[in-house]
């Protein structure tokens, strides 16, 4: 042993670890075994793990299974991990053992060694044992699925849903602001009957509102926790009441309605709720992709494009074309959506990888699910604040195009019939004239009738 390392031991023998590391032998073995991606579990997952360990220690103490002195040190250490103080001591790659055992043991070792420090002991001494004390009444097989649910619920509740509500409010405000703005509707990217710009934005707001409802609908199942099933769902080594008591402690700490899973075999062998949530996140991403694409099209120009709206100018758009400004926020959001689509595929494949009593792709499922939540929350906020809020309508340009568009003849169908209306449209297109001029010239309507029937505003409804 040198001054830079110390020796820790596990069931396979001694391992050298950095002298100041809070983790131990099993973490070090995993670091050596899985040099795959450099990707680490996010802060939200480490926090959830620590909260589980904290609650478990409190319950084991209350049940008389854990020495009060040790329990107090474990609780303090776990709280420090939950607060982010020791994130640098979680070095294991996401691509590791499928149960997440390496990361569960990483947490056990960090909390145990930090608790030893708190008690004045020597790192690695096992005065506080990572398995016997920190992992008491638990298994990686129920801890990691529990951490996925706890972390996802917390991130949805504190980050994603507030961001989506913020975006919904921004879209709804623009729906009101733009309610009097007439524009040409489009189907197949071709001219269609007029709509109001506010109606389009009301559609976007409704998409986000439905996305909020979809995500919220998953939360009751996300609140069910696998903890208490231990190795295979039978609860071996956990005393009756442990799981329910830990869920209650977690609820008290977070303010969220966590509860013990109704069926521990399903909770550990399958991750259907995580797959369900990922599917809802994908749907939200589909909505954001549609909205962002529409914004790009409407903002296109400013001379040769649609030029219906102007998004805020945020940064130069070209290294060679002076003065060019691009719709960078919608583009960034669209890339987020593409990533979420891919994440959902990974979560789906991981979710179906439950073999008998255990899912064996838990780490990659956790990483992708939590990344999707974070990306969508951040993207929703920047879309609301840096694109939607500052969007301006080019009212005169849109109205001018509405009045000149021969497609308005559609409104004449009930009066002059489809065939005559089509004749009017073709002649107006060919000669570059208005529908009103042509329909009056052909003698199908009087000028007064044409003026009344071709008023675009009533065509858009109430």
Q: How many C-beta neighbours within 10 Å does residue 330 have?
A: 26
Architecture per CATH, 405-459: Orthogonal Bundle (1.10)
Give the catalytic positions in this structure.
Answer: 188, 318
Domain limits, the chain: 20-136, 142-235+252-395, 405-459
Report helix, strand or coil for 309.
Answer: strand
Pick the CATH number of 142-235+252-395 from 3.40.50.720, 3.40.50.150, 1.10.150.20, 1.20.200.10: 1.20.200.10
Q: Please give the Cα distance from 240 to 263 (Å, whole number).
A: 15
Q: What is the CATH number assigned to the segment(s) 20-136?
A: 1.10.275.10
Q: Tell me the two tokens of residue 62.
A: 């209350």
Q: Please give the Cα distance from 326 to 310 (Å, whole number).
A: 11
Contact 227, 52 (CB under 8 A): yes
Whether pTM exceeds 0.75:
yes
For residue 13, the 8-state DSSP code is E
Q: How many C-beta neighbours within 10 Å does residue 224 have?
A: 20
Contact 300, 307 (CB under 8 A): yes
pLDDT tens by residue, the chain, 462 residues: 457 999 999 999 999 999 999 999 999 999 999 999 999 999 999 999 999 999 999 999 999 999 999 999 999 999 999 999 999 999 999 999 999 999 999 999 999 999 999 999 999 999 999 999 999 999 999 999 999 999 999 999 999 999 999 999 999 999 999 999 999 999 999 999 999 999 999 999 999 999 999 999 999 999 999 999 999 999 999 999 999 999 999 999 999 999 999 999 999 999 999 999 999 999 999 999 999 999 999 999 999 999 999 999 999 999 999 999 999 999 999 999 999 999 999 999 999 999 999 999 999 999 999 999 999 999 999 999 999 999 999 999 999 999 999 999 999 999 999 999 999 999 999 999 999 999 999 999 999 999 999 999 999 998
């Amino acid at each position: 042993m040198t001054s830079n390392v110390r020796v820790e031991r596990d069931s396979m023998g001694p391992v050298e670890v950095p002298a100041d590391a809070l983790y131990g032998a099993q973490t070090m073995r995993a670091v050596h075994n899985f040099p795959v991606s450099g990707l680490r579990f996010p802060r939200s997952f480490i926090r959830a793990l620590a909260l589980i360990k904290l609650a478990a220690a409190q319950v084991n103490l209350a049940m008389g299974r854990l020495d009060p002195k040790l329990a107090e040190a474990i609780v303090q250490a776990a709280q420090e991990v939950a607060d982010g103080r020791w994130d640098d001591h979680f070095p294991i790659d996401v691509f590791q053992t499928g149960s997440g055992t390496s990361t569960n043991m990483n947490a056990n070792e960090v909390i145990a060694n930090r608790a030893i420090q708190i008690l004045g002991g020597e790192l690695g001494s096992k005065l506080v044992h990572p398995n016997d004390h920190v992992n008491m009444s638990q298994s990686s097989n129920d801890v990691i699925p529990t951490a996925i649910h706890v972390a996802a619920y917390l991130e949805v509740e504190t980050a994603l849903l507030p961001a989506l509500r913020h975006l919904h409010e921004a879209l709804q405000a623009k729906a009101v602001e733009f309610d009097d703005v007439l524009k040409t509707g489009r189907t197949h990217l071709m001219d269609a009957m007029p709509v109001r710009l506010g109606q389009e934005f009301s559609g976007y707001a409704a998409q986000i509102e439905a996305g909020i409802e979809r995500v919220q609908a998953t939360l009751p199942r996300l609140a069910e926790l696998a903890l208490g099933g231990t190795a295979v769902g039978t609860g071996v080594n956990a005393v009756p009441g442990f799981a329910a008591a830990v869920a209650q402690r977690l609820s008290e700490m977070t303010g969220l309605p966590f509860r013990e899973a109704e069926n521990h075999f399903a909770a550990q062998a399958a991750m259907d709720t995580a797959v369900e949530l990922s599917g809802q996140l994908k749907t939200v991403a589909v909505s954001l992709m549609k909205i962002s694409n529409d914004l790009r099209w409407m903002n296109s120009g400013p001379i040769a494009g649609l030029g219906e709206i102007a998004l805020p100018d945020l940064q130069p758009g070209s290294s060679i074309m002076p003065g060019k400004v691009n719709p960078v926020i919608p583009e960034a959001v669209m890339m987020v959506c593409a990533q979420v689509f891919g994440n959902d595929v990974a979560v789906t494949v991981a979710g179906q990888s439950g073999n008998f009593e255990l899912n064996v792709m838990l780490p990659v499922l956790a990483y992708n699910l939590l990344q999707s939540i974070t990306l969508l929350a951040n993207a929703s906020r920047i879309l609301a604040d840096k694109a939607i809020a500052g969007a301006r309508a080019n009212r005169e340009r849109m109205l001018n195009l509405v009045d000149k568009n021969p497609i308005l003849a559609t409104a004449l169908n009930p009066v002059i019939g489809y065939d005559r209306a089509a004749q009017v449209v073709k002649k107006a297109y060919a000669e570059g004239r208005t529908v009103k001029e042509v329909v009056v010239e052909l003698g199908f309507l009087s000028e007064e009738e044409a003026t009344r029937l071709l008023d675009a505003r009533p065509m858009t409804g109430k």
